[in-house]
Structure 1
Amino acid sequence: MRIDNQSGKVYIAGHRGMVGQAIWQHLDGVGYENLVGRTSDELDLRDPHATRQFFEEEQPDFVVLAAARVGGILANDRYPADFIGDNLAIQQSVINAAHETGVDRLIFLGSTCIYPKHAPQPMSEDSLLTGPLEPTNQWYAVAKIAGHKLCEAMHRQHGDDMVTLMPTNLYGPGDDFDLETSHVLPALLRKAHEAKGAAPDGSDAPVTLWGSGEPKREFLYVDDLADAVRFVLETPKDEIREVAPDGMLNVGIGEDLSINDLMALIQDIVGHNGPVEHDRSKPDGTPRKLVDTSRLDTLGWQADTALRDGIETTYDWFKQRVTSNVER
C-alpha cells in the first residue's frame, strides 16, 4: 500500500541542479503541495550551524539530499580536495540536522561510482566495499560511501528512516555541458554538435573520445530518477527494509552500452557524419558499471524512458538553452 505524503513539507537540497530540478518539477506535477528549497547563496550546506538553523525554522517532514559537488573524470582529477571535502561537509550537515530535528524520512542520493572498479556485473548493493575503487573518481566515491554509511548508522543507532538511492549515470535537460566538468554523455553531445560542418571544407570535423571507447556504461534519464524518488517517498518503511536492510537501493535501467556505441547513437541523433578518433593517452575509467536493480524491482518500480528518447529530449534542450552560449 502506498503512503500519501503529498501534504508533507519536502525539503529538496540542491533544487537548482539537474537532479534537484527534476525532482522538484516531478513532485510538484503529481500534487506535492509543500516543497522547500534554498540556493547555495541563500544557504551554504557546508555550514552545519546555518543548516541546523534552517531545519529548525522550516521543520521539513521529508528531505531529499540531492546537493553535491559533481563532475566527470577531468574535474575529479583536478579538484580532489573539493570533491571529497565539500561532499562530506554537505552530507554531515544535512543528515545531522535531519536527525536532530526529527525528519520523518531522508532520501540520500549517492552514485554507482561507489562500487569497486572490478565489481561483478551487474553490481549489487552487496558489492559495496568489496574491492578497490576506480582511481579517477575515488574522491567523490569515498564521500558518497561515507554519506550512505552515515545514513545507515543513523538508522542502526537511532532508528532514523534514512534511505540511500544509488543512481547509475544520469543525463537529461539541465545537464552540465561544460567540457571541463561534464560527464561523458553531455560532453559527447556537445562535441558532436559543435563538429557539424566545422572542418575547413565545410564537412563534419572529427570527434575525439577519451581512451578506447570500449568501457560500458548505463544511463538513466533524470526524470526517471525523480519518479524513483517519489516512489520511495511513498513506500512504507517496513517494505523498504525487507528488501534493503542497509537502506540502499540501486536505480538504473538494467541495460548498458559501450562508449563507442553511445557515440554512434549520438551521431545519429545529432546528424554528425564525421570520423571518431580516440585519445588513448586518456584513461578509460571503470570497465563496466551496470547495476543490479532487483531490490527496487521487487518493490515495484522500473524506469521507462528509452535511451534514444531521453537523448533526443536532452539534445533539444541543449539546442534551445545552451547553444547560444557555446557556438563558435
Structure 2
Amino acid sequence: MNLDSRVFVAGHRGMVGSAIIRQLKRKGYRYIITRTSLELDLTNQAAVAVFFAEENIDMVYLAAAKVGGIHANNTYPAEFIYQNLMIEANVIHQAFTHGVQKLLFLGSSCIYPKLAEQPMQESALLSGYLESTNEPYAIAKIAGIKLCESYNRQYGVDYRSVMPTNLYGPGDNYHPENSHVIPALIRRIHEAKEQGLSDVSIWGTGMPKREFLHVDDMAKASVFIMNLDKSIYCNHVEPMQSHINVGTGIDCSILEVAQTIANVIEFEGQIKTDPSKPDGAPRKLMDVDRLRQLGWEAEIKLDIGVRDAYESFCKNIDNLRM
C-alpha cells in the first residue's frame, strides 16, 4: 500500500462507497478524492475527462451506480442500463487515458445466469440466460467487467472487478419500493411494530434463498483485493478474467431473513408471504473459494449485521431517503 496515493472513490455517498471511505481512512490513506453527483456527473463524458485531467488520480474505486431492488429494476430498466453503462465507460476509459494503473470495479452477483449451478463460480459468467427482472442492470455490470478485462488485455493495466452478493448496512436506501431486500424489510417491519400491526407481508413466496454481506465486510474485501500483488491476484483468476466473487458462502431463505429482522426489531406479529409478487431467481449463492484462498473471509454474522443496520436506521430515520 502507498498511503500517499491519490485515491478516487466514485459513489462515495452511497452505501458501498461510504464504507470504502471508512476503510481507507482506517488504513491511513491521506489523499481520498470524492465528488458528489452535483459536482461531477459521471454520465457526462466531457466532465469526467476534465476531472481526471485535473486531479492526477493514482487509484480508482468505482462504486458509483444506479441500484435498486426488483421493483425498481422492473420499473426503470432504461435508466438502469443507460446510466450504469455511461458511468463505467466514462470512468474506466478516462482512468486509462490519464494513466491510472489500478482500478477496482464493483459489480453484482446478478451477472450470473438465473439457473446457474449453485454456488455460483466466476466461470459461470455468460453461460446462460439472466434473470429477467434485472437483466438491463446485469448486462451493464457485465459490460463493466469486460471493459476492465479488455483494457487489461490490450494495455496491460491492472483493473480488477469484485462481484458482491446482496449487501446491507449503514447508509442503505430504505425506500419502501425501490430498495433491496434487507432495508425494505427493516423499514416495513419497523413501521408495522410502530403501528401495532398484527402481521407484515413480504414479496413472493419467501422461499428463494439469498446470501447477504454486511457492507463493512465488502469494503474490507475491496481494499484487500485492490492491494494484492498483481502476480498473486492473477494466480487466482482465469486468464482474461478480472472478476472475483465476494460473499459469505452462506445463504438463507427470504422468509428466514425476515424472521431474523423481526427478532432484532422485536416485532411479535406474523410474517406473511405474497405469492402474487415475483420471487426472482430461486437461489443465489456465491462460490467464494478463490477469495478464501487469497486469505480473506467475511467476519460479520447476519444477526449481528442486521442489528447494526437497524441501529443505523433508527439513528438516521429522519434523514433517510423515503
User: CA deviation digits over 1:265-320, x for unaligned, max 9?
Assistant: 11110011111222111100011110011111111111111111110010001011
Instruction: Measure, in 1, the Cα distance between the counterparts of 2:176 and 2:88.
Output: 27
Task: Tell me how far 1:322 sits from its aligned partner.
Answer: 1.3
Instruction: Measure, in 1, the Cα distance between the counterparts of 2:299 and 2:197.
Output: 33
Instruction: Measure, in 2, the Cα distance between the counterparts of 1:207 and 1:94.
Output: 42
Poorly superposed stretches of 4+, deviation over 3 Å: 323-327
Any conservation in 2 of the 1:119–1:131 contact (CA below 8 Å)? yes
The structure 2 residue matched to 1:321, chosen from 305, 309, 316, is: 316
Give yes or no for the alignment of 1:95 onto 2:92: yes
Instruction: Measure, in 2, the Cα distance between the counterparts of 1:326 and 1:90.
Output: 22
The structure 1 residue matched to 2:60, chosen from 57, 60, 63, is: 63
Give yes or no for the alignment of 1:240 onto 2:255: no
The SS at the match of 1:243 is: coil
TM-score where L is the length of structure 1: 0.95
Task: Tell me how far 1:5 sits from its aligned partner.
Answer: 2.4
Instruction: Measure, in 1, the Cα distance between the counterparts of 2:3 and 2:70.
Output: 38
Partner of 1:135: 132
Any conservation in 1 of the 2:20–2:219 contact (CA below 8 Å)? yes
Instruction: Measure, in 1, the Cα distance between the counterparts of 2:307 and 2:92.
Output: 36
Output aligned runs, 1:20-39, within 5 Å.
Answer: 20-39=17-36
Task: Tell me how far 1:90 sits from its aligned partner.
Answer: 0.3
Output aligned runs, 1:1-328, within 5 Å.
Answer: 4-198=1-195, 203-244=196-237, 245=239, 246-322=241-317
Any conservation in 2 of the 1:197–1:205 contact (CA below 8 Å)? no
Q: What's the Cα RMSD here? A: 1.3
Instruction: Measure, in 1, the Cα distance between the counterparts of 2:123 and 2:3.
Output: 32
The SS at the match of 2:18 is: helix
Structure 2: 5+ residue stretches without partners: none
| Alignment CA distance shift 1:264-1:184 (3 Å) | same
Any conservation in 1 of the 2:198–2:269 contact (CA below 8 Å)? yes
The residue identity in structure 2 corresponding to 1:250 is: N
The SS at the match of 2:67 is: coil
TM-score where L is the length of structure 2: 0.97
Any conservation in 2 of the 1:121–1:291 contact (CA below 8 Å)? yes
Any conservation in 2 of the 1:240–1:247 contact (CA below 8 Å)? no
The residue identity in structure 2 corresponding to 1:19 is: V
Aligned residues: 320
Instruction: Measure, in 2, the Cα distance between the counterparts of 1:52 and 1:228.
Output: 29
| Alignment CA distance shift 1:243-1:82 (3 Å) | same
Instruction: Measure, in 2, the Cα distance between the counterparts of 1:36 and 1:323.
Output: 28
The residue identity in structure 1 corresponding to 2:272 is: E
